[in-house]
A and B are shown apart, each in its own frame.
Chain A
Amino acid sequence: MAEIPVKLTQKDFKSDQEVRWCPGCGDYAILAALQGFMPELGIPRERIVFVSGIGCSSRFPYYMNTYGMHSIHGRAPAIATGLSVSRPDLAVWVVTGDGDALSIGGNHLIHALRRNVNLKILLFNNRIYGLTKGQYSPTSELGKITKSTPSGSTDSPFNPVSLALGAEASFVARTIDSDRKHLQSVLRAAAEHEGSALVEIYQNCNIFNDGAFDQLKDADTRDDYLIRLEHGQPLTFGHEGQWCVARTAGGFGLEVRPTEAVAATDIVTHDVTIADPSYAFALSRLPQPDLRNTPIGVFRSAARPTYDRLVTEQIDHAVTGRNATPEDELAALLRSGDTWTIN
């Protein structure tokens, strides 16, 4: 389909609905970043659809002046799959949260990713249930004290990036609500990717889990905590570049070591295109429970056939091979098998 040149602005993507998140919620920043970034895509609004599940983040579609569906808890990836595969001309985005995508909807998420459906999935991770007022989520830390875990959570958390890579997601990235520039750069890369793109966005719930990611945001600590992933660049970080990522000596994975202790040639150069997800998975295992060594940016952006394309090709092939009108094909189909005539 030919691109229709459109010049839209951030304002064009704001709907007439009043935004109703709590004052100070990280969702506002993500909404503004997305609305500001959307015009760059050059896609007319009518060809963009936002599908969400249930949770605070899932109110998102109401605020985007595109097509949108606020569906049911956990099912957005399944619904979006049906839409995307039957309408390859549309740009379909899924907005979800850590409870929606990883608890009730975990099954649909992993299957959308393994199929490589052409969906851009924004997973707002605040490590808490917000809409139901403060229970622990599948990304809450072990021992987390919440309304439903007064003695501390006994559940080990998911690492959403590791989970997505385990499902062989073709594009996986992580970013932070408060870093608009980084957020938009990741969204841009996700939008350009053909296939499933999972973007984990660390998002602050200032009511029930305030400050969950402060170490990654504070100017005093962030440079020592964050590993900024840039394709083709060596993985060094720290306010003086004092840390680097190197292969584990004699092991399978990656580890953080003092830069001065590692030969320059042994420092890992980031490559998002590696077909085997093992490298990206090893990167995803670096963070410590206190958030040290948290990579942000694109972990993996690999080319893999999309479900949408494979299905469409089969249909197109079959339709092209048809040598009669649908009505005549139907008449022939009804007559297939053994028939007999009664006069």
Chain B
Amino acid sequence: MTEQKESGQLTPGLRDEPGPLGGPGQSAATPLDPDGPAKRVERLDRVIIRFAGDSGDGMQLTGDRFTSETAQLGNDISTLPNFPAEIRAPAGTLPGVSSFQVHFADYDILTPGDSPNVLVAMNPAALKANVGDLPAGATVIVNTDEFTPRNLKKVGYAANPLEDGSLDAYAVHPVALASMTIGALAVHEVSKKDAERAKNMFALGLLSWMYSRPYDSTMRFLEKKFAKRPDLVTANVAAFKAGWNYGETAEAFAVRYEIAPATMPAGDYRNITGNGALALGLVAATVRSGLPMFLGAYPITPASDILHELSKHKRFGIVTMQAEDEIAAVGAAVGASYGGSLGVTTTSGPGVALKGETISLAIMLELPLVVIDVQRAGPSTGLPTKTEQADLNMALFGRHGEAPLAVIAPRSPADCFDAAIEAARIALTYRTPVMLLSDNYVANGSEPWRLPDVADLPDLRVDFATGPNEGEKFLPYLRDPQTLARPWAVPGTPGLEHRIGGLEKADRTGDISYDPANHDHMVRIRAARIAAIPVPDVEVEDPAGAARVLVLGWGSTYGPIGAACRTLRQRGLDIAQAHLRHLSPLPANLGDVLAGYERVVIPEMNLGQLAHVIRARYLVDAIPYNQVRGLPFTAAELESMLTGVVSGVLPETYREEVVNNG
């Protein structure tokens, strides 16, 4: 086991302080077999584990459970699920490999980690697909039962890698996971198939022992998940315990590790995914606004989980409609907004493309609407389970006519909660569609989230129009001088009957108008009211205050950029980091911030979409750094690139790309 540190972390002293829980020695982590052989215990500050297997091997569930056990211990956590688009790709093949990476530490971390310290490979395909990411010295636990000649051949292994010396750089633990699980369950009344399927719990038990995880929550989880099949509860619990006891007794596992709790701000925490946090943020928005919420959605990866979650919360007056298509989903949300609900639609890039015309209608009608785009790699179907940030252009510009709206992007899974509330706040206050750009990395990744106090959440209450606003008259397009928003007069209000629509409206009255000067005025005022939305200044992190290079990002790149900047600073290099949450309108101080640095670097998981905006808007010679591999940046590659920029070695290739294309 290598003891790597995400260097540049915190103050060195912090790491040596024992955590408030005093390490993992909680009751739940007591060995199942107190008479087992004593093992050496080593303390680590952080570990990255990757569980990899076939799509049907339950790796996502295994990773989730390990994460939950780890959260109970108070470690900081960041996770990265990675799975194929196919529900069940052909068994044993490279495209069918599904993995779940979890990074946990005794200090605050920003990413799921670049290189796993431990790989659990359930079959040859999982080994082959992941071994390239391992640093020398990494631990590899393989399920030898699957290393048959046929399976090896299926993924192109000429020889068995467990025997040909190709894994000599790693600490390899061959474990007959499946047959040992079947053996352990022989005394129980479980079919061989069900017993074999419980092998992921054997692996989880082994890893839980190795890293001294408390397993109470997993026991509870299994009891709940298989409540209708007590035999499966027995099987999975027994498999878990067999794995734990195997670690305890097998001589091959000589060391047990402990990772102390991280020092984090006091409070109550839970682990949360980005999609989970978005859903809860929307629930909070409906509670804090006092408005019923209407979600129109059409199933699409990776956004469907938000629909699933919100469908459970009818007690908050939330109506969820699975519409016939993406267009109907947003249309119904606009209809509900017109009627006085908080209208929301959730989708991914292809869905936003379909919704474009209706979003433009909402811009013309000046009604609140929250559009959530959980971005995935495109265009077209692209890589539907992989991440990308390439919908920024569409969010900012992807509609007909001059159709501005507000755009915001969360930076991490937990931040999705606040971003959802902020999106609702802007939509309700300024009567505008707001696009929230999440992405697959943020949506399915998870991290600890400090639970907010409900009373401290923003007050989102709105005032509907109740009577005339000019003498005896009601003018549906008479604007509030502060917000430039028009009145929200919902049907059912006596005396305010009026008609709105997609045709250009006369200023103030909202009547149909074909007048050239009026159209010019209305186009400008629709733009002005978005531009005038007050958004917080962008903050710059530059601890020494001596940086000459600024790295600017948005959305989910916050983690890897932040981790890379920490490393640079630890190595004595100065670098400033700024991260945009509001992309439309941009923070008022952004121009001044950019002007304060000799160089600005913009890493994005697209071909330079924010960089184009920054260059056009501020005439700043920003350097784009781009990657579209369907995976988040690693901190290491950003560290390498930023080191080059800070050292004055401009990455000329990127500059040329912009000159040629921009």
* Cβ-defined contact, A319 with B327, below 8 A: no
Interface residues as binary, A52-88 with B (CB distance below 8 Å gives 1, 0 otherwise): 0010000001101111111110010011111111110
* Cβ-defined contact, A111 with B217, below 8 A: no
Cβ distance B427 to chain A, nearest Cβ, rounded Å: 15
Interface residues as binary, B16-53 with A (CB distance below 8 Å gives 1, 0 otherwise): 00001000000000000000000000000000000000
Residue from the list A44, A311, A335 in contact with B270, Cβ < 8 A: A335
Given contacts A87-B492, A90-B339, contact A68 B499 (CB under 8 A): yes
* Cβ-defined contact, A69 with B499, below 8 A: yes
For chain A, residues 83 to 97, give those with C-beta under 8 angstroms from any C-beta of chain B.
83-87, 89-90
Give chain A residues whose Cβ lies under 8 Å from the Cβ of B325. Answer: 107
Give chain B residues whose Cβ lies under 8 Å from the Cβ of A17. Answer: 499, 511-512
Interface residues as binary, A308-330 with B (CB distance below 8 Å gives 1, 0 otherwise): 00010011011101100011111
Residue from the list A47, A335, A342 in contact with B20, Cβ < 8 A: A342
* Cβ-defined contact, A71 with B492, below 8 A: no
Q: Which residue of A lies closest to B452 (CB)?
A: A334
* Cβ-defined contact, A341 with B268, below 8 A: yes
Question: Which of B314-322, B549-557, B570-578 interfaces with chain A?
Answer: B314-322
* Cβ-defined contact, A83 with B451, below 8 A: no
User: In the complex, how many residue pairs between chain A and chain B have their CB atoms under 8 Å apart?
Assistant: 202
Give chain B residues whose Cβ lies under 8 Å from the Cβ of A252. Answer: none
Cα distance A322–B343 when bound, in Å? 23
Give chain A residues whose Cβ lies under 8 Å from the Cβ of B358. Answer: 72, 75
Residue from the list B264, B451, B491 in contact with A47, Cβ < 8 A: B491
A248 is an interface residue with CB less than 8 A from chain B? no
A337 is an interface residue with CB less than 8 A from chain B? yes
* Cβ-defined contact, A341 with B267, below 8 A: yes
* Cβ-defined contact, A90 with B313, below 8 A: no
* Cβ-defined contact, B314 with A47, below 8 A: no
Residue from the list B217, B315, B365 in contact with A338, Cβ < 8 A: B217
Q: Which residue of A lies closest to B357 (CB)?
A: A72
* Cβ-defined contact, B280 with A78, below 8 A: no
* Cβ-defined contact, A342 with B327, below 8 A: no
Cα distance A85–B294 when bound, in Å? 9
A331 is an interface residue with CB less than 8 A from chain B? yes
Residue from the list A15, A46, A327 in contact with B287, Cβ < 8 A: A327
* Cβ-defined contact, A311 with B319, below 8 A: yes
Cα distance A85–B503 when bound, in Å? 26
A108 is an interface residue with CB less than 8 A from chain B? yes
* Cβ-defined contact, A107 with B339, below 8 A: no
Cβ distance A338 to chain B, nearest Cβ, rounded Å: 5
Cα distance A339–B453 when bound, in Å? 15
Residue from the list A79, A84, A327 in contact with B331, Cβ < 8 A: A79
Residue from the list B327, B493, B511 in contact with A75, Cβ < 8 A: B327
Given contacts A17-B512, A62-B512, A72-B358, contact A81 B492 (CB under 8 A): no
* Cβ-defined contact, A108 with B328, below 8 A: yes
Cβ distance B477 to chain A, nearest Cβ, rounded Å: 14
A132 is an interface residue with CB less than 8 A from chain B? no
Cα distance A311–B292 when bound, in Å? 13
* Cβ-defined contact, A85 with B319, below 8 A: yes
Which of A84, A319, A333 gathers most chain B CB within 10 Å?
A333
For chain B, residues 292 to 343, give those with C-beta under 8 angstroms from any C-beta of chain A.
292, 294, 296, 313-319, 321, 323-325, 327-328, 331-341, 343
For chain B, residues 483 to 499, give those with C-beta under 8 angstroms from any C-beta of chain A.
491-499
Given contacts A90-B491, A330-B454, A334-B452, contact A83 B269 (CB under 8 A): no
Cα distance A340–B317 when bound, in Å? 29
* Cβ-defined contact, B454 with A327, below 8 A: yes
Cβ distance B357 to chain A, nearest Cβ, rounded Å: 6
Cβ distance B376 to chain A, nearest Cβ, rounded Å: 24
B632 is an interface residue with CB less than 8 A from chain A? no
Question: Which of B67-75, B613-621, B640-648 interfaces with chain A?
Answer: B67-75
The 9 closest A-B pairs by CB, nearest first: A70-B501, A82-B335, A82-B332, A78-B331, A318-B314, A78-B328, A83-B335, A79-B335, A67-B491
Other A-B contacts than A84-B335, A329-B315, 14 sampled, CB-CB below 8 A, are A68-B500, A70-B503, A72-B357, A75-B358, A81-B321, A81-B332, A82-B321, A82-B337, A86-B294, A86-B336, A86-B341, A111-B324, A330-B454, A334-B454
